Amino acid sequence: MTKNIAIIGGGVVGATTAFYLTKNPDYKVTLFDEATGQGTSASAGIISPWLSKRRNKEWYQMVKLGAAFYPEMLADVLAGAAIPHEVYQKVGTLLFTKKDKQLEELLEIGKKRREEAPEIGDLKILTPAEIKDLVPIYTKDKRALFAAGGARVDGKELVALLIQTAINNGLQLIQERAQLKPNKSDKYHVQSPSLTETFDAVVLANAAWLPETLAPLGYEVDIRPQKGQLVELQTDWETDTWPVIMPTGEKDIIPFLDGKILIGATHEDEAGYDLELEENVLEEMVENAQEQFSTAIQRQDIQKGRVGTRAYTSDYAPFFGEVPQLKNVFTASGLGSTGLTSGPIVGKILSDLVCGNQPALDPKKYPIENYIQKNNA
C-alpha cells in the first residue's frame, strides 16, 4: 500500500528528507515550500565544525556526523557522477585566532578530534607566507591553522540539486505555504492555496516558521528567528581552489568558482522575520574582511546580497523527533548557523523516523519535548 507523506519546508532539511523518501517506490511524497526567507537558499556554508570550542557534546556529535555525511549523501544524489564544485568542494579551511598562541591549543584539539573524525585531514599552522601561497591576496601578518578536510557548500545550489533529483524520483513540489490540520485515525490534512490532501505522515521542516505551524494546534514552540545577511562579490581573481577563510568573529570569507566570494553572515537576533537587505551592513562586512584578511577586498566588487532566517532555541541546542501527541508528525529545528553542516544528516534522520528505521543519532539526546509542548488549558 502506498504511503502518502507531506513535507512542509524545502530548505536543506526538507530537501534531504524528500530525496531519501522518494527513493522508496512505495511512498508518494509532496513537498510544500513557499521559500520566502528560507535560510538555506540564502546561505553559503563552511563544512568545518571540528575546531569549535562549543561545549555542547550532542551538538558536536551532530555537526561532526553531518560533516562526514556530506560525501555519502552527494554520492547517493549523484549516483556516482562527479560532485559539481559549485555545490560542494573540499578546499580546506584557514582558521584565525585573536591571539597567536591559541593556534597551538586549537591544533591539539584538532589532533585529538581527528582520532574519531579522520575527515579533518592534515592539520598545520601556516605562516603568513604560506597563507599567501594559498590565497595570493592575503596582506596581513597573522598565522592561521589549516584543516585540509574543510569544505565549502552553496546552500542554494545544494537545495536545487536535492529537489530536482527528488522530482526525478517522483516528488510533487507545491511552491506554496501550507497549513497542518489533524484528521481522524492519525491522518492529517495539509492545505495550501491550490491543494488540500490527506497524508499518513507529515514532516515539518520549516525551521523558524515551526511555531506558526503548530500554534493553531495548541502548541508552544521554543524557537526564535534570527536574520542573516551575506554579501556576494564578483572579482577577477582565480578563486577556484582557495580555502575557506574563518577570521576572528562571525564574518567568514568563502571563495567559490570564477572569482565569486561570499562574506558573512550577520547574526541579528532582534530583526525577527525581516528580510530587507541593508546596503550599509553589506559594506561593513567587506570592510571587516579588509581589516582582518586583505586590503585587496573592495566595496566596488559587491554584486548583490543574500538574506535569510535561521532558527534557534533558547539554549541554542537542536532537536528532532515525533511531535508530542501528534503521531506520525516529525520535525527538527534549532540548527541555527550550523544548519548547512547538520541539515543533510538531520534530513536523513527524519526520513528514517518516517520509515521506522533506526536513525544515526538517538532522538532521546535531542529531546523534542523540551522545546515543543502541548497547551492543554
* Residues 246-253, mean pLDDT to the nearest whole number: 88
Got the DSSP string for 210-247? HHHHHGGGTEEE--EEEEEEEEEEE-SS--TTPPEEE-
Distance CA 246, CA 151 (A): 12
* Residues 50-71, mean pLDDT to the nearest whole number: 94
In the chain, what's the furthest Cα-to-Cα distance? Answer: 68
Q: Is residue 41 scored above 90 in pLDDT?
A: no
* Residues 81-106, mean pLDDT to the nearest whole number: 95
> What sign has the CA pseudo-torsion 94, 95, 97, 101?
negative
Binning pLDDT at 50, 70 and 90, where does residue 373 land?
A: very high
pLDDT at 333: 98
pLDDT at 185: 78
Binning pLDDT at 50, 70 and 90, where does residue 323 land?
A: very high
pLDDT at 2: 87
CB 232 within 8 A of CB 255: no
3-state DSSP of 279-290: HHHHHHHHHHHH
Kindly report which listed range (15-24, 42-51, 133-142, 163-172) carries the lowest average pLDDT score.
Answer: 42-51
Q: Is residue 288 scored above 80 in pLDDT?
A: yes
Binning pLDDT at 50, 70 and 90, where does residue 35 land?
A: confident
Please give the angle made by the CA atoms of 307, 54 and 138, to the nearest 5 degrees: 60
C-alpha cell recorded at residue 196: 488540500
| pLDDT tens digits along 129-159 | 999 999 999 999 999 999 999 999 999 899 9
Q: Is residue 268 scored above 70 in pLDDT?
A: yes
pLDDT at 253: 96
Q: Is residue 46 scored above 60 in pLDDT?
A: yes
3-state secondary structure of 304: strand
| pLDDT tens digits along 178-235 | 999 987 778 999 999 999 999 999 999 999 999 999 999 999 999 999 999 999 999 9
pLDDT at 276: 93
pLDDT at 159: 94
pLDDT at 43: 66
* Residues 109-136, mean pLDDT to the nearest whole number: 97
pLDDT at 55: 81
Kindly report which listed range (50-54, 130-134, 336-340) carries the lowest average pLDDT score.
Answer: 50-54
C-alpha cell recorded at residue 228: 542573516
* Residues 112-119, mean pLDDT to the nearest whole number: 96
pLDDT at 365: 97
pLDDT at 184: 73
On whether the pTM is more than 0.75, the answer is yes
pLDDT at 54: 83
* Residues 2-13, mean pLDDT to the nearest whole number: 96
Using a pLDDT cut of 90, give the percent of the chain over it: 90
Q: Is residue 80 scored above 90 in pLDDT?
A: no
Binning pLDDT at 50, 70 and 90, where does residue 111 land?
A: very high
Average pLDDT score, the chain: 94
Binning pLDDT at 50, 70 and 90, where does residue 64 land?
A: very high
